[in-house]
Structure 1
Amino acid sequence: MDADSAKKTGGLRSNSLVQAWLVLVLAVGFGVSLAGVQIALGPVIEQNKINETLEKVPELVLGSELAAKMASQDQALDIVPRQVEVQKAARSKFYSVYEARYQDERKGWVVKTKGQGYADTIELLLGLSPDLSTITGLFVLDQKETPGLGNKIITDQWRGQFIDAPADGNLVVVKTGKTQPGQIDAVTGATISSKSVTALVNAAISDVRPPLTDGAAADGKGDKKNG
């Protein structure tokens, strides 16, 4: 190899090395910037979710028509937030639960729950009747499922299947059309997303039923005593 060729080869290697370092520096810089943005926006995003949750409670407990009627008459539910701790093996799991009351009468509950979907975490709001026997509503608070497939879990038509479904047993996802209570039709082409949502609903009901039932019983005794 002559001197000119060696010099040219060395220059190419040097340029490649510089470009590789430049790409690495840019990647690190972008990652740090993105992390900074997420840290800065995190509290804002969470506050927006809380606000959206409180706005959805009446609809999830009463249904859209009655909730709209109350709003038109300037009537509002009293919403009492609480944290429910559930022991899961060697760890504790916490649920955000919202008790909805009107004129000192319990109208229902809304439970926030989240877990793994097909693509990423799915976060749900689950409405339950006062006695925890019936599902009164379901809202997808956050999801990143596949557009056109898994993200159809957000549609009113699919979520509507859960309304009035029994909450005293596990719901089951079917792909051939539901034929009885407790069955949920899977989104076509998105069985995993459908099963993920249904599993989250089943787990949340199973977890919060004991503490909420105990709390409701205690409230009932207190009401009788005060009465």
Structure 2
Amino acid sequence: MYTEKKSVAARLKASSLVQAWLVLLLAVSFGVSLAGVQLVLGPVIEANKINETLEKVPELVLGSDLAAKMTDQNQSLDIAVRRVAVTKTDRDKAYSVYEARYQGELRGWVVKAKGQGYAGVIEILVGLSPGLKTITGVFVLDQKETPGLGNKIITTEWRGQFIGAPADRSLMVVKGGAVQPGEIDAVTGATISSKSVAAMINVAVADLRKPLAEMEQKGGDNG
């Protein structure tokens, strides 16, 4: 009887070990497959983001009406892609910056920035006037915020608050309605997502004010 119980226990133990190895094998296989998909799709996703960014630059710099008018007249901005490195005491950061000119005249900048939102990383494009005096547009390039709440940051209505906002002071997110210049009304029920976008813009503008001013000066000297 003892031998039979021991045999059953041994079979159960062996079965458990087999199941554990199967689970581990499946987990590894799934991880490898996921990594392979990411390896294949990663460059495609990034290429799509670059194309979408270039398409959005005119609207973010000029506004939707003027950008559409230029397209209708077969006119276009000259867009140069810059990589701007910023060194701070606590960090080093590099920004992708799109310099937009028309007939040699600087019309504005578009900056790509990203940061942590409520549910994941948010990636945005920020349009800035020459001299970084005002914000000329905001577009959400990528986000994973809560559907029906935080993901409302992608709406034209909410993003429209940033157009014309001063870029020489920090943006402030408020609840219940923005009144003062530089105030942004938070998405209802998604204050964290709203503040994340505003914070990204504040940091990017502060980081790039001096480098872009120097680039503008060099461009003017060359002109």
Task: Using structure 2 for the length normalisation, give the TM-score.
Answer: 0.95
Report the counterpart of residue 83 of structure 2 in structure 1. 83
RMSD: 1.3
Counterpart residue type for residue 9 of structure 1: A
SS in structure 2 at match of 1:101: strand
Describe how 1:1-227 pairs up with structure 2 within 5 A. Answer: 2-89=2-89, 91-223=91-223
For residues 25 and 57 of structure 1, what CA distance do their matches in structure 2 show? 47
AA matched with 1:65: D
In the alignment, the residues of structure 1 paired with residue 90 and residue 186 of structure 2 have an alpha-carbon distance, to the nearest angstrom, of 33
Rounded to whole Å, the distance in 1 between the matches of 2:114 and 2:61 is 19
Q: Distance in 1 between matches of 2:90 and 2:176?
A: 39
- Residue deviations 1:179-215, cap 9 Å, x none? 1111011111111111111000000011111011111
1:90: Cα distance to partner?
A: 5.2
Q: Distance in 2 between matches of 1:76 and 1:103?
A: 10
Structure 1 portions without partners, runs of 5+: none
The offset of 1:91, in angstroms, is 4.0
Give the secondary-structure state (helix, strand or coil) at the position aligned to 2:131: coil
Tell me how far 1:41 sits from its aligned partner: 1.7
**Offset from partner CA, 1:99-120 (integer Å, 9 cap, x none):** 1111111111100111111111
Whole-Å separation in 1 of the counterparts to 2:40 and 2:76: 33
SS in 2 for 1:71: helix
Percent of pairs with identical residues: 68
Q: Which amino acid aligns with 1:75?
A: Q
Moved more, 62-71 or 1-10: 1-10
Cα distance between partner residues in 1 of 2:222 and 2:2: 97
Decide whether aligned partners of structure 1 residues 41 and 219 sit closer, same or farther in structure 2, where only a CA change above 3 A counts.
same
Distance, in Å, in 2 between the alignment partners of 1:175 and 1:7 is: 69
Q: Return the letter of the residue paired with 1:162.
A: F
Q: Quote the offset at 1:172 in angstroms.
A: 0.4
State the TM-score, normalized to the length of structure 1. Answer: 0.94
What is the one-letter code of the residue matched to 1:55?
A: E
User: What letter corresponds to residue 134 of structure 2 in structure 1?
Assistant: T
Instruction: Please list every run of at least 4 consecutive aligned residues from structure 1 whose deviation after the TM superposition is greater than 3 angstroms.
Output: 1-6
**C-alpha distance in 1, partners of 2:5/2:188?**
61
Deviation readout 1:54-109 (Å, 9 max, x if unpaired): 00000100111111111111111110111111112154211110111111111111
Shift of 1:9: 3.0
CA distance in 2, matches of 1:157, 1:36: 38
* More deviation, 39-48/190-199: 39-48
Which whole-Å CA distance do the structure 1 matches of 2:54 and 2:216 have between them? 21
Deviation at 1:32, TM superposition (A): 1.2
Q: What is the deviation of 1:45? A: 1.2
For 1:200, what is the secondary structure of its paired residue? helix
SS of the residue corresponding to residue 131 of structure 1 reads helix
